């Protein structure tokens, strides 16, 4: 077998794209599909360009009340009393609720699909009764005839607080004399499974070790150790959180909401309200962005309680400041990372200490951070310690490749320093050290077939990398990143219609075009057009349990379910054809071009047999139910050209390319869109985005004016190079695409800034004042 180094690759346009949309092609290996890899119009597109698509806040119900949530003005305080009597007397008010209107919760763990939650903590996050732990923490809620009445009434609720000192920084929060947020938290040492015995803010400590770390560093010719910090950032979805609930007299609760996982909302609402899941129906409305932040409940149980108390349906919407104050964020962090290389430029050892903000309650993505920190490279000896630390900020949530962006900023910046110190080309270093199939990560996982090396190869061959970058204050940086992706539970049912089309029912809420990507996989198997499949996302009573749209899993796992449903349809149609021809079913074959053929040259098309189903035993319904466990991890490498303004420290991006192994691109336009959108979020995180807190724990920039996400005027064209190293765990090779692209940008930008301006940025965001500070310091 030829080694990877002997393989021949080229870069070419990805068919159907614009000039900036490319792919890496290996000689003699081009996929051969009819539907997969094409660019049909998405099925939900017309509704979304005409304003007809119904998002969470668009629901209207007879007798609908509007609600308002009263939130804490303090970052850290004990609640001494809550008096709602004046609010209840306001004309037009129909219900007022506090935590006392929910069942009490106990300390048990629940799995939300992108993170574990303690039910007591979630109960306290939804409506606090004991302590408030961040400004904006929900305390009480009112339902009234209008949102304005509800708001005015809520302001009459009297809450007596004993104000406590907040702690906002992870390094302070883990000291012995720091204020402790949660009396019930003890340090949980993993994977050892040992537990501490004193109250602390350090909720978790993950420790991984591989090989002989000390010997590895001793064998190194160069060792670089650096410290990094990143600020709290928000997912920044444009649609605020919203929930509408009706608690019917028959005990059934219906929740209309925008969520990444309707079944996860069902589970959380049922658990927090003490009812069986079968009593809760969640109707997923269209969702206006999530990025990991719309999995946990906030408003849903509160709306249900207000509905029970008022006997009317109740809608709760957050405003933008609520969204920043009380939802989202992904942690700020402190990281110390050390890497050693030998004389040949091969990594000998790596060590990392990672401190992530959990926010108010335990649950930062510190474990994935630990597993990702050295994930791109073959590190023979490694030691990783990660800490999940409570601070007085909103409870942290998943955000696109949770934890990986932080650690890539650290590792990839050090890799660039190593390359510079040793005079090695950053592409060459990565080609030499890239992980390959069979390599073992520090946390003990052995890689299946992966495409890290191929993404670097694509960088090497790209026009962008080969072009020259001239001019003062300009520089080019590259960085790589990894995400696991996920499989999980998905269910699809598909009904063959008499006109030769298929109605596909799924439980995966569609955030970025997954209806199309799932429908295309069913169409490919059946040999029909993508347009002949009608995909619909339905409520939790209408399909089997389907995990969140998260973990880059939907195209992979719900796609697998669609493939199984298509195969089920094929098998049933073969039986029907056998019945028509009076032969055995195993004598009939369904080929990839939608034709069934039997003995003696008999053939019948999919369309023809679809019209005969009611005469041959009734409609055919295919079913696919999977718990997918062969998701392939994926890698990306980005190239950034920047110009740094020496007078202001502002960083302008001149050119940007995203290279990513996606396994197989089902709908390349939406794959490119994920790569571009992820890069844009990473660029925002790199250059501008941060939560500004005062010492009192008040968030000072809870608007889109002051929390500045990139506009289209801030960004250049974002070129894409799709790499397709098929995932053997999926018939078409799908790995998942959504998360990897947010990982490399901060490090790619930092490395480009160094080449442009000679300053190493080790703190995010690399905003103009901070870059200018480094520029001025370097002049001294």
Residues that bind another protein (CB under 8 A): 18, 20, 39, 41-42, 44-46, 48-55, 57-58, 60, 148-149, 235-240, 286-291, 317, 319-320, 511-513, 667, 669-670, 672-674, 676-681, 703-705, 709-715, 717-718
By beta-carbon proximity to another protein, the closer residue of 379 and 718 is 718
By beta-carbon proximity to another protein, the closer residue of 384 and 651 is 651
By beta-carbon proximity to another protein, the closer residue of 120 and 704 is 704
What's the DSSP call for residue 612? T
Q: How far is the CB of 673 from another protein (least distance, A)?
A: 6
Per the listing, tokens 């250049």 go with 716
Distance CA 753, CA 747 (A): 10
- Contact between 350 and 217 under an 8 Å Cβ cutoff? The reply is no
By beta-carbon proximity to another protein, the closer residue of 324 and 429 is 324
- Contact between 683 and 676 under an 8 Å Cβ cutoff? The reply is no
SS3 call for 574: helix
Q: How far is the CB of 397 from another protein (least distance, A)?
A: 15
End-to-end CA distance of the chain: 57
Residue 546: closest CA among 592, 514, 586:
514
By beta-carbon proximity to another protein, the closer residue of 513 and 633 is 513
For residue 464, the tally of other CB atoms under 10 A from its CB is: 21
Q: Quick one: tokens of 144? A: 């009234």
By beta-carbon proximity to another protein, the closer residue of 44 and 643 is 44
By beta-carbon proximity to another protein, the closer residue of 384 and 699 is 699
**Strand pairing category for 138-144 and 93-98:** antiparallel
Distance CA 388, CA 362 (A): 7
Q: How far is the CB of 411 from another protein (least distance, A)?
A: 24
Distance CA 198, CA 399 (A): 31
Distance CA 155, CA 534 (A): 48
By beta-carbon proximity to another protein, the closer residue of 44 and 547 is 44
What's the DSSP call for residue 233? B
Q: How far is the CB of 50 from another protein (least distance, A)?
A: 5
3-state secondary structure 545-572: CCCCCCCCCHHHHHHHHHHHHHHHHHHH
By beta-carbon proximity to another protein, the closer residue of 500 and 535 is 535
Q: How far is the CB of 518 from another protein (least distance, A)?
A: 15
Query: Which runs of consecutive H residues, i.e. helices, occur in 319-382?
Result: 320-326, 366-372
Q: How far is the CB of 278 from another protein (least distance, A)?
A: 30
SS3 call for 659: strand
Query: Which runs of consecutive H residues, i.e. helices, occur in 688-759?
Result: 745-757
- Integer CA distances (angstroms), 148 to 145, 249, 302, 760, in order: 8, 27, 18, 50
By beta-carbon proximity to another protein, the closer residue of 236 and 550 is 236
Q: How far is the CB of 139 from another protein (least distance, A)?
A: 22
Per the listing, tokens 């064209």 go with 717
Q: How far is the CB of 710 from another protein (least distance, A)?
A: 8
By beta-carbon proximity to another protein, the closer residue of 102 and 679 is 679
**Spatial CB neighbours of 388, under 8 Å, sequence gap ≥ 6:** 202, 203, 204, 205, 356, 358, 362, 363, 364, 366
By beta-carbon proximity to another protein, the closer residue of 49 and 109 is 49
Per the listing, tokens 């094929």 go with 570
Q: How far is the CB of 71 from another protein (least distance, A)?
A: 16
Q: How far is the CB of 715 from another protein (least distance, A)?
A: 6
Per the listing, tokens 């925002």 go with 684
Q: Quick one: tokens of 554? A: 């939907």
Query: Which runs of consecutive H residues, i.e. helices, occur in 208-326?
Result: 213-218, 262-273, 300-310, 320-326
Dihedral of the alpha carbons of 553, 556, 557, 561, in degrees to the nearest 10:
150
- Contact between 213 and 349 under an 8 Å Cβ cutoff? The reply is yes
Q: How far is the CB of 744 from another protein (least distance, A)?
A: 14
Distance CA 509, CA 507 (A): 6
Distance CA 578, CA 692 (A): 69
Q: How far is the CB of 272 from another protein (least distance, A)?
A: 27
**Strand pairing category for 188-190 and 202-210:** parallel
- Residue 466, class by beta-carbon neighbours within 10 Å (0-12 exposed, 13-18 middle, 19+ buried)? exposed
Per the listing, tokens 């959180």 go with 241
Q: How far is the CB of 680 from another protein (least distance, A)?
A: 3
Q: Tally the C-alpha atoms within 13 A of residue 465's C-alpha that lie toward its C-beta.
A: 22
Q: How far is the CB of 771 from another protein (least distance, A)?
A: 22
By beta-carbon proximity to another protein, the closer residue of 511 and 569 is 511
By beta-carbon proximity to another protein, the closer residue of 288 and 359 is 288
- Contact between 405 and 678 under an 8 Å Cβ cutoff? The reply is no
Q: How far is the CB of 667 from another protein (least distance, A)?
A: 8
């Amino acid at each position: 077998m030829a080694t990877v180094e002997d393989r021949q690759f080229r870069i070419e346009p990805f068919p159907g794209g614009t000039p900036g949309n490319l792919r890496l092609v290996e000689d003699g290996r081009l996929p051969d599909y009819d539907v997969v890899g094409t660019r049909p119009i998405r099925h939900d597109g017309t509704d979304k360009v005409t304003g007809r698509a119904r998002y969470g806040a668009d629901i209207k119900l007879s007798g609908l009340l509007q609600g308002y949530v009263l939130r804490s003005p303090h970052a850290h305080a004990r609640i001494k009393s809550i008096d709602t009597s004046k609010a209840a007397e306001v004309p037009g008010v129909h219900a007022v609720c506090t935590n006392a209107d929910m069942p009490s919760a106990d300390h048990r763990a629940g799995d939300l699909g992108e993170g574990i939650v303690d039910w007591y903590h979630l109960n306290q996050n939804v409506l606090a009764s004991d302590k408030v732990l961040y400004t904006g923490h929900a305390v009480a809620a009112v339902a009234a005839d209008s949102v304005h009445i509800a708001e005015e009434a809520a302001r009459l609720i009297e809450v007596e607080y004993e104000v406590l000192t907040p702690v906002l920084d992870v390094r302070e929060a883990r000291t012995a004399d720091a204020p402790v947020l949660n009396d019930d938290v003890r340090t949980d040492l993993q994977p050892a499974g040992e537990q501490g015995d004193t109250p602390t803010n350090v909720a978790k400590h993950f420790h991984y070790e591989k090989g002989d770390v000390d010997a590895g560093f001793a064998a190194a010719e160069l060792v670089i150790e650096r410290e990094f910090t990143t600020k709290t950032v928000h997912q920044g979805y444009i649609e605020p959180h919203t929930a509408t609930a009706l608690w019917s007299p028959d005990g059934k609760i219906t929740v209309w909401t925008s969520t990444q996982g309707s079944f996860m909302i069902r589970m959380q609402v049922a658990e927090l309200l003490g009812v069986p899941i079968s009593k809760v129906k969640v109707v997923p409305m269209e969702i206006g962005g999530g990025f990991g932040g719309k999995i946990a409940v906030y408003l849903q149980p509160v709306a249900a309680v207000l509905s029970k108390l008022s006997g009317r349906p109740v809608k709760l919407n957050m405003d933008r400041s609520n969204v920043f104050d009380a939802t989202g964020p992904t942690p700020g962090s402190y990281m110390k990372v050390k890497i050693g290389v030998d004389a040949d430029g091969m990594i000998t050892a790596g060590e990392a200490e990672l401190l992530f903000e959990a926010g108010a309650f335990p649950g930062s993505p510190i474990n994935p951070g630990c597993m990702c920190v050295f994930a791109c490279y073959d590190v023979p000896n490694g030691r990783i310690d990660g800490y999940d630390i409570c601070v007085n900020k909103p409870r942290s949530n998943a955000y696109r490749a949770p934890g990986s962006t932080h650690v890539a900023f650290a590792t990839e910046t050090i890799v660039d320093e190593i390359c510079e110190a040793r005079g090695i080309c950053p592409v060459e270093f990565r080609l030499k050290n890239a992980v390959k199939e069979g390599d073992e990560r520090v946390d003990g996982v052995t890689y299946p077939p992966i495409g890290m090396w191929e993404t670097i190869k694509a960088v090497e061959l790209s026009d962008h990398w080969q072009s020259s970058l001239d001019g003062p204050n300009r520089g080019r940086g590259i960085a790589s990143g990894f995400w696991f992706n996920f499989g999980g539970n998905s269910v699809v049912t598909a009904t063959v219609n008499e006109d030769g089309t298929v109605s596909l029912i799924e439980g995966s809420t569609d955030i970025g075009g997954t209806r199309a990507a799932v429908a295309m996989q069913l169409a490919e198997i059946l040999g029909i057009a993508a347009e002949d499949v009608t995909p619909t996302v339905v409520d939790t009573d209408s399909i089997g349990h389907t995990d969140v749209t998260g973990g880059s899993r939907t195209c992979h796992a719900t796609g697998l379910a669609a493939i199984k449903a298509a195969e089920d349809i094929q098998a049933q149609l073969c039986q029907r054809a056998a019945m028509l021809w009076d032969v055995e079913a195993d004598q009939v074959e369904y080929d990839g071009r939608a034709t069934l053929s039997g003995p003696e040259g008999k053939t019948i098309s999919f369309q023809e047999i679809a019209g005969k189903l009611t005469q041959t035993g009734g409609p055919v319904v295919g079913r696919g139910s999977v718990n997918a466990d062969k998701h392939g991890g994926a890698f990306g490498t980005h190239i950034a050209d920047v110009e740094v303004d020496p007078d202001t420290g502002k960083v302008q991006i001149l050119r940007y390319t995203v290279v990513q192994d996606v396994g197989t691109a089902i709908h390349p336009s939406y794959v490119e869109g994920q790569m571009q959108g992820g890069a844009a979020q990473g660029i925002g995180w790199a250059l501008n985005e941060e939560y500004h807190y005062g010492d009192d724990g008040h968030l000072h920039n809870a608007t889109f004016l002051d929390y500045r996400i990139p506009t289209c005027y801030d960004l250049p064209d974002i070129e894409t190079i799709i790499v397709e190293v098929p995932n053997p765990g999926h018939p078409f090779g799908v790995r998942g695409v959504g998360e990897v692209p947010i990982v490399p940008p901060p490090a790619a930008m930092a490395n480009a800034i160094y080449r442009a301006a000679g300053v190493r940025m080790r703190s995010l965001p690399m905003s103009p004042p901070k870059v200018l500070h480094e520029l001025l310091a370097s002049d001294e």
